[in-house]
Amino acid sequence: MWLWFSKLGSPKWFYELSGRWLPWLTAAMIIFMTIGLVWGLLFLPPDYQQGFTSRILIVHVAVAGTSLAFFPLMFVAGTITLVWKMKLADMVAKNAAILGAWFSFVTLATGSLWGSVMWGTWWEWTDSRLVSMLFQLFLLIGVISLRSALEDSETAAKACALLSIVGCINVVIIKYSVEWWNTLHQASSPISTDSSSPNGPEFWIATLIMIVAVYLFLSVSLILATRNEILERERRSQWVRDLVLKS
Amino acid sequence: MLTAHRLFCARDDRVLFKNLNLELSEGQIMQLRGSNGSGKTTLMRILCGLNDSYEGSIKWYGQEIADQAVNFFSSLLYIGHRVGVSKVLSPVENLRWSCSLKQRVDDEAIYRALAEVGLRGFEESPCYTLSAGQHQRVSLARLIISPARLWVLDEPFTTLDAKGVAQLENLLQRQAQAGGAVLVTTHHRLNIPELTVLSLG
Amino acid sequence: MSAKQTTTSAAFLATLKRDLLIAIKKKNDIVNPFMFFIIVVSLFPIGISPESDRLREIAAGVIWISVLLASMLSMDNLYRSDYEDGSLEQLLLSPHPLFFLVLAKNISHWLVSGLPVVLVSPLLAYMLNLPAQAYGTLILTLLLGTPIMSLIGSIAVALTVGLGSRGLILAVITLPMSVPVLIFGTLAVQSTLNSLSPLGYLSLMLVMLSVAISLAPLASAAALRISVN
Amino acid sequence: MLDAIQFASFAEFLDMGGYAFNVWSVYAIFAIFITANLILPMRKKQKIIRQLKRRMAVDAEIQSESDET
């Protein structure tokens, strides 16, 4: 068990393993993405309430659902960095923060494009999901800027790990308090939550396919970025030199 | 009492030291030598437990320091580049705090120690009115008060005048005779007969 | 030797005393954030509207946000000078649990920066036309909320203490984390204004405070060990 | 299968039931997001490898020079 764990932490081992996985993951991503997009755009019948705007939701829900994975991911990576001093976890965490910020931003952008049709407004403070996603974005930006501010890479790794752990706990508290805050203001809100989810099994199947596709995209992109990070940080080691010579 | 075994430390790709072994026993004064950037300060901070980015083992009386931090910290006195003297406070107020982090101390002992390091008359003046050498002397007063077995001193001689240097050398020898140990970095030629030297880099 | 060793509570008190002493001697660090708070609050009526009805509605929020901003300012000094003069290293090398020493520093920081703000808040509430029945709730929320801010801010300060120029990074990290405090602080005042009991919110803030007291110093201590490397 | 397509003409497809701007913006953002986060790391990898090659060439040169002297 311990051996396996330390092996998992070895960047070289990860680089080789991920190199073997990457083609399969990419292929699966392309397949799911194509099915999801073609079905979503061409075949999905218009929702009886929302018409063709339900096509927005397919993408939005997939991205939003996936971006919920980032704080747990960074929590785990941060714990591993602090407890076992595993460098690989930090390399993943660094890129997860950046990718997570992208995800949060796209969630907000697509959400407000959908909201502008359904609610007639681009931004709605009474939607707790949008508000807590906004603060998730802020927290991720905080982690990213802390890393860029700290020069020593080891200090940066540990500091960001700690901040991610604190941030995760906070995201949960923020989420619940914003929800609470919202229920009290809901009276004055133009939104009724019931209308926000279209019915129909086709919609959910299409969304599910997109969620799988986006998760696959997340792993492919994260692996690509992590591999770059490995190459940069391990540039002095023999195996990276051999690899560069071969390519 | 303090042993380090196969220490390895690299900072951003640069290997500071590897496979470094060190043994410090009672009554020993050890001087760390090495050019600038050879890792003297880093080694000291690692040995004190301030810096944990190293590989290898450090033992205090045969037990890893990480497993007995409380025990180790109460027998350790460290004075770094930054001597730990607040400019706003007076020497007495500074010592009252920094000593009480480790042991019980009365004002009388503090005044006596300050007089011994030549700060009589400055006890109550705020430290920003004192010179760098006098700051150093305030921190040296802690050596007199402290019962710590192990002293780790990073460049304690730099700002001292000739008299201060002699006095500190004297203090180090007194500590060694009392069965304590000293680890010190300096570029000075120390006037201490039984000196062990460890060269880095 | 063990007979001469200090107890943790003695080290705690010594640290508390020292920090208060430093704060009293460096008056600017206390006075400036405090003045900043008062000035920011008095800018709102000019920027938004001098009408008393409008002011009454925003009073609690204005005071709370100004408190958050002022605490950002005062926070910067929590560990900085200790880091620069080496006292922080001495703190880390103490045999006593860092948890309590950090807590002592946080308490002293709150006493000199949080408490004055709480004390002056009724005056500002009056200037913003907050109805008198809400004063008690406002003070209570501030009493519970400002220490939470000090404790959370301490983590961020500890993480950034080694930075040469940190600019606004402290605010970027800390302000998003202050959202729950802000929400419950203002909700409590609002519900008093609507003649509802604020007890639920206050007890929630109390829970948050006790969680912060028991966890935040741990995180701060870990952050200090990381920063002083 | 083709009759399951919800649109009678290409123009209707583009129109998206009147919500063309919103729907197509979302898909455009999504497309940019996906491609950017796949292409950028790939390009970065090539850059890193190029840099490493250059550095290794320099290292080898220094090595051979010091061997000669």
Residue A241, chain D, CB below 8 Å: the answer is yes
Which region among A118-127, B126-135, B157-166, C116-125 has the lowest average model confidence (pLDDT)? A118-127
> Using the beta-carbon criterion (under 8 Å), do C89 and B147 form an inter-chain contact?
no
> Using the beta-carbon criterion (under 8 Å), do A152 and B13 form an inter-chain contact?
no
Residue A153, chain B, CB below 8 Å: the answer is yes
Is the pair D, A in contact (3+ CB pairs within 8 Å)? yes
pLDDT of residue A144: 93
Task: Report the alpha-carbon distance of residue C9 to residue A170 in Å, rounded.
Answer: 31
For residue C137, what is the enclosing H or E element?
helix C135-160
> Using the beta-carbon criterion (under 8 Å), do A153 and B53 form an inter-chain contact?
no
**Would you tell me the crossing angle of helices A11-38 and A201-233 to the nearest 10 degrees?**
150
pLDDT of residue A159: 94
Is the pair D, C in contact (3+ CB pairs within 8 Å)? no
**DSSP 8-state symbol, A51:** B
Q: Residue D18: pLDDT band by 50, 70, 90 thresholds?
A: confident
pLDDT of residue A194: 46
Task: Report the alpha-carbon distance of residue B2 to residue B44 in Å, rounded.
Answer: 12
- On chain A, the residues whose CB falls within 8 A of the CB of C175 are 138
The CA-CA-CA angle for residues A67, A71, A77, to 5°, reads 125
pLDDT of residue B160: 87
Q: Residue A9: pLDDT band by 50, 70, 90 thresholds?
A: low
pLDDT of residue B102: 85
Q: In this structure, what are the phi and psi dihedrals at residue B4, rounded to the nearest 5 degrees?
A: -120, 135
- The answer to whether residues A175 and A131 touch, using CB atoms and an 8 Å cutoff, is no
Residue A16, chain B, CB below 8 Å: the answer is no
- On chain D, the residues whose CB falls within 8 A of the CB of A56 are 19, 22-23, 26
pLDDT (tens digit, 9 = 90+) per residue, B82-116? 888 999 999 999 999 988 888 888 889 999 999 98
Nearest CA in chain C to A140: C173
- The answer to whether residues A203 and A59 touch, using CB atoms and an 8 Å cutoff, is no
Touching D: which chains, 3+ CB pairs < 8 A? A
Q: Residue A196: pLDDT band by 50, 70, 90 thresholds?
A: low
Q: Residue A143: pLDDT band by 50, 70, 90 thresholds?
A: very high
3-state SS class at A235:
coil
| Residue predicted with more confidence, A243 or A45 | A243
Tokens of D63: 């090595």
Q: In this structure, what are the phi and psi dihedrals at residue B9, rounded to the nearest 5 degrees?
A: -145, 130
**Domain ranges in chain C?**
2-227
pLDDT (tens digit, 9 = 90+) per residue, B63-82? 888 888 888 998 899 998 88
Please state, as a whole number, how many other Cβ atoms lie within 10 Å of the Cβ of residue D29. 18
| Distances, alpha carbon A226 to alpha carbons A137, A175, A242, B19, C103, in Å | 21, 29, 19, 31, 38
pLDDT (tens digit, 9 = 90+) per residue, A90-129? 999 999 999 999 999 999 999 888 888 877 888 888 778 8
Q: Compute the average pLDDT of residues B183-190.
A: 86
> Using the beta-carbon criterion (under 8 Å), do B97 and C94 form an inter-chain contact?
no
**Would you tell me the crossing angle of helices A87-118 and A128-149 to the nearest 10 degrees?**
150
Q: Which of A37, A221, A228 sits opposite D48 (nearest CB)?
A: A228
Q: Which residues contact C171 (CB under 8 A, 6 or more apart)?
A: C72
> Using the beta-carbon criterion (under 8 Å), do A166 and C177 form an inter-chain contact?
yes
Q: Residue A190: pLDDT band by 50, 70, 90 thresholds?
A: very low
Question: What pTM value is reported for the model?
Answer: 0.88
Q: Which residues contact A198 (CB under 8 A, 6 or more apart)?
A: A47, A49, A50, A54, A57
Is the pair A, B in contact (3+ CB pairs within 8 Å)? yes
pLDDT (tens digit, 9 = 90+) per residue, A26-78? 999 999 999 998 888 887 777 666 677 788 888 998 999 999 899 899 999 99
Alpha-carbon gap: A247 to the closest alpha carbon of chain B (Å): 24
Nearest CA in chain A to D46: A228
3-state SS class at C195:
coil
Show pLDDT as tens, one digit a residue, over chain C (229 residues).
Answer: 444 667 888 899 999 999 999 999 988 888 888 899 999 999 988 988 888 888 888 888 999 999 999 988 888 888 988 998 899 999 999 999 999 999 999 999 999 999 999 999 999 999 898 988 889 999 999 999 999 999 999 999 999 998 877 668 888 899 999 999 999 999 999 889 888 888 989 999 999 999 999 999 999 999 999 998 7
pLDDT tops 90 at residue B190: no
Is the pair A, C in contact (3+ CB pairs within 8 Å)? yes
Mutate to test the interface with B, among A231, A236, A237, A241 (most CBs of B within 10 A): A236
Nearest CA in chain B to A155: B53
pLDDT of residue D21: 86
- On chain A, the residues whose CB falls within 8 A of the CB of B11 are 152, 154
Tokens of B95: 């010592």
Please state, as a whole number, how many other Cβ atoms lie within 10 Å of the Cβ of residue A152. 14
Alpha-carbon gap: B30 to the closest alpha carbon of chain A (Å): 30
**What is the Cβ-side half-sphere exposure of residue A106, based on CA atoms within 13 angstroms?**
31
**DSSP 8-state symbol, A158:** H
Q: At CB < 8 Å, which residues of chain D contact A?
A: 4-7, 13, 16-19, 22-23, 25-27, 29-30, 33-34, 37-38, 41-42, 44-45, 48-49, 52-53, 55-56
Say whether the ipTM exceeds 0.90: no
pLDDT of residue C3: 46
pLDDT of residue C28: 84
> Using the beta-carbon criterion (under 8 Å), do D49 and A244 form an inter-chain contact?
yes
The average confidence (pLDDT) of chain B is: 88
> Using the beta-carbon criterion (under 8 Å), do A145 and C169 form an inter-chain contact?
yes
pLDDT (tens digit, 9 = 90+) per residue, A147-179? 998 888 888 999 999 999 999 998 889 888 888
Residue C25, chain B, CB below 8 Å: the answer is yes
Task: Report the alpha-carbon distance of residue C225 to residue C37 in Å, rounded.
Answer: 32
Helices (H), A68-152: 70-84, 87-118, 128-149
Q: Which of D17, D33, D38 sits opposite A224 (nearest CB)?
A: D38
